[in-house]
Amino acid sequence: MRFIKKTFVENTVNESYKEDALVGGIRIVKNGIEVLNTLNTLNENKNSSVYYYIFKGHRVRNTIDCLGCTIPNQRLYICIIKSLIMTISV
């Protein structure tokens, strides 16, 4: 699994702004056979983070088990496309 930071331009009715997001790809090898490789998509320039297989890294709020989590030790929620999860579980 690999992540990179990409910058996207978001447009609203009143303004446009730039947003940094983490996007990712994954390579899975089972029994010596590559069954999935989405790392090459990280080289593509897409209009939104949701077009990548792994996207939307949001910081997790500090909780009881991580009261002292600060930069650089922060945790992130991420979204993984459902078809990718199905491939991983096979």
pLDDT digits (tens, 9 = 90+) for 15-35: 998 888 888 898 989 899 998
User: What pLDDT, on a 0 to 100 scale, did the predictor assign at position 1?
Assistant: 86
The pair phi, psi for residue 28, each rounded to 5°, is -120, 130
Name the residue range of residue 65's domain.
Answer: 2-89
Cα angle vertex 50, ends 78, 3, to 5°? 50
Q: How far is CA 13 from CA 16, 22, 43, in A?
A: 8, 25, 30
Task: Tell me the whole-structure pTM to 2 decimals.
Answer: 0.65
- Owner of token pair 């579980």: 89
Total number of domains in the chain: 1
Cβ 74 vs Cβ 63: under 8 Å: no
Instruction: Over range 68-83, report the average pLDDT.
Output: 66
